Amino acid sequence: MADSAPTAMRQGLLKRNPQMTRQQFSDHWYTKHAALVVPLFLDSGISNYSQLHNPVAVDPALDVSEYDGVANVPSDEALAEMARPKKDGEGDAPWREQYYREVVLADERRFLESEALNHIKIVDGGSVVGETKVVIEDGKVLIDVPDDVWKVWQENRDLGIILTTPGYHSFKSQLRRCFVPWDFEALLRAAF
């Protein structure tokens, strides 16, 4: 892949989990984590996403020695909107936020120093170069996304549609009167 970074997007500098080597971090980020964010990014309208491995700063005043990877990211607003907890009634956002929290953040806790939004350093596009690995380009996915990732995404989406369907909360309260306190979300997943 190319050894430069697109300048149109911002760049987010990331720190690896200190228990991983740089190579383990790079392998996990590209082969595992990238696949997990693809459905979320596409659904959020993010049509370009790439990673820079083995980062080197273009500007000598920018110290990237403590960072292990760079994500070419959309605007700060797009990232914040994607991660922002949503209220009921804000479209299908609650189920997307659940996928982000339960799948994406859970994985970030494995291979990053902390959740990305807690430590990411945003710099102007083109500030850092490195080995570029393109994940999404012009809305086209350029990596293999395992079927089980799409399945989990679809299950979250389907459950989100059920949970926002008019009458769902009435149906849920009727179920509660009929059954002992179980995990009603799991019961609904099994029923639909």
Position 34, amino acid: A
In angstroms, the CA 66 to CA 125 distance is 19
Whether residue 168 has pLDDT greater than 60: no
Whether residue 31 has pLDDT greater than 70: yes
Kindly state the average pLDDT of the residues 48-77: 89
Residue ranges of domains in the chain = 10-144
The closest alpha carbon to 75, from 45, 109, 108, 42, belongs to 45
Whether residue 166 has pLDDT greater than 80: no
Position 64, amino acid: V
Taking the CB of residue 131, how many other CB atoms lie within 10 A of it? Answer: 17
Whether residue 151 has pLDDT greater than 90: yes
Within 46-160, strands assigned E span: 49-57, 69-73, 121-123, 128-137, 140-141
Instruction: Give the model confidence (pLDDT) of 67-97 as tens digits.
Output: 999 999 776 566 665 555 555 455 556 778 8
Q: What percent of the chain has pLDDT over 70?
A: 68
> In which band, very low, low, confident or very high, does the pLDDT at 170 lie, cut at 50, 70 and 90?
very low
In angstroms, the CA 81 to CA 45 distance is 11
Kindly state the average pLDDT of the residues 86-114: 79
In angstroms, the CA 122 to CA 11 distance is 6
